[in-house]
Amino acid sequence: MSQTNILLESGTNELELVEFFLEEPGITGDNAEKDATYRGYYGVNVAKVLEISRMPKVTGLPEVQHPAVMGAFNLRSHIVPLVDLSLWLGKGHIAAQESPKVIVTEFNSVTTAFMVSGVNRIHRISWEQVEPPNRYVTMVSQSSITGVVKLEGRIVFLLDLEKVVADLNPALGLRLDEAVDWGNAMSYRVLIADDSGLIREMLKDLLQKANFTVEVVHNGHEAWDRLLELKVRAENEKKPLTDYVQTLISDIEMPSMDGHNLCKRVKEDPVMRNLPVVLFSSLITDKLRHKGVSVGADDQVSKPEVTHLAQRVHALIAERKQAGIM
């Protein structure tokens, strides 16, 4: 099963989701069936999936840092690491009735494959159908769940595969170039929308080191509500909105409202449209960059390049100040 290559219209707040499942150890006890198993349902954005295939021939890797890394295989002359997703999630390994499937993903310019028990289908849904995980789900999943959606009577968990890859290879996490001197940089206020608690806190800390004053929210809907509050305040105090916030930095994949829909709303608003909007996401690729352009994003920066993000935000604000817009 190869990627569908369906590209949704930008700004519609829609998502195409690959639903897959893992056979997990079931509840044990006096009344439980022996060797009972439970089928857990999960999802990943189609935009991150290169292809879905049968189990390939895997070669072991030396000095593997995590037992979930099974090895690597050759995919059209590219060596791709394979991760047993059940083991990484701490579920243990249950043999599936059918041959397992492999989901090959690409984001942050990194290709990684994940072994799963099986794949169901692709769903087209609205981000409004996706609920943020509650505190308990976040805690027990070690913050690896970014959203929850009900599909055909099943509860499907959206996995934070970026966290999986970053945990397996810390060098792929967010970072700020310490060689850059931010001491003389102007201090600006930015609003950040990202559904990952880990990313929010890391990005806040790193941008504060780059001399920004940072406010964070959990998703595009919260960011839109906050901008509306600031818009009313600016109107009441007869000041421009950019006196209160100088840039919006938004992830793309978020429950309730995604970054593309958020950006489209901002750029269609006569008061907000001069606010610089930067999309900061693992989905910023040459193939998908046109989606951000179509909703009016002022720039798009691929995770985890925080240094480039900070430099671009400074440059965008400076350009607007020079043009007399801010």
Each residue's pLDDT tens digit, 95-111: 656 789 999 999 888 89
Q: What span, in angstroms and rounded, lies between the C-alpha atoms of 65 and 75?
A: 22
Does residue 239 belong to any structural domain of this protein? yes
pLDDT in tens, 281-320: 988 888 788 999 999 999 999 988 899 999 999 999 999 9
Q: Output the CA angle 155-291-265, nearest 5 degrees.
A: 80
pLDDT in tens, 127-175: 999 998 888 887 777 678 889 999 999 999 999 888 888 888 877 777 7
Q: What span, in angstroms and rounded, lies between the C-alpha atoms of 307 and 49?
A: 27
Residue that is last in its domain, among 170, 191, 223: 170
Q: What span, in angstroms and rounded, lies between the C-alpha atoms of 262 and 251?
A: 10
Residue that is last in its domain, among 105, 137, 170: 170
Q: What span, in angstroms and rounded, lies between the C-alpha atoms of 4 and 289?
A: 18
Note whether 20 and 154 are same-domain residues.
yes
Note whether 118 and 262 are same-domain residues.
no
Note whether 166 and 191 are same-domain residues.
no
pLDDT of residue 59: 93
Hey, which bits of 172-291 come out as E strands? 188-193, 212-217, 247-250, 277-281
Grade residue 199 by pLDDT with cuts at 50, 70 and 90: confident
Whether residue 7 is predicted with pLDDT greater than 60 in this model: the reply is no
Does residue 5 belong to any structural domain of this protein? no
Phi, psi of 249 (to 5 degrees): -115, 125
Does residue 223 belong to any structural domain of this protein? yes
Hey, which bits of the chain come out as E strands? 14-25, 37-45, 49-54, 69-75, 78-84, 101-107, 110-116, 118-126, 145-151, 154-159, 188-193, 212-217, 247-250, 277-281, 299-302
Distances (CA, A) of 140 to 134, 189, 301: 10, 34, 31
Average pLDDT, the chain: 88
pLDDT of residue 280: 95
Mean pLDDT along residues 270-288: 91
> Tokens 């829909």 label which residue?
261
Per mean pLDDT, which range of 28-42, 56-70, 118-132, 140-154 is the poorest? 28-42
pLDDT of residue 271: 94
Grade residue 94 by pLDDT with cuts at 50, 70 and 90: low
pLDDT of residue 171: 72
Longest dimension (CA), the chain: 74
Q: Which of 147, 146, 161, 190 is nearest to 301 (CA)?
A: 190
| Residues forming beta bridges with residue 2, ordered by sequence position | 51
Does residue 6 belong to any structural domain of this protein? no
Does residue 2 belong to any structural domain of this protein? no
Grade residue 31 by pLDDT with cuts at 50, 70 and 90: low
Whether residue 185 is predicted with pLDDT greater than 50 in this model: the reply is yes
Residue that is last in its domain, among 153, 170, 187: 170
Whether residue 8 is predicted with pLDDT greater than 70 in this model: the reply is no
CB 81 within 8 Å of CB 34: no
Note whether 68 and 144 are same-domain residues.
yes
Give the CATH number for residue 134. Answer: 2.40.50.180
- Domain that includes residue 25, residue range: 14-170
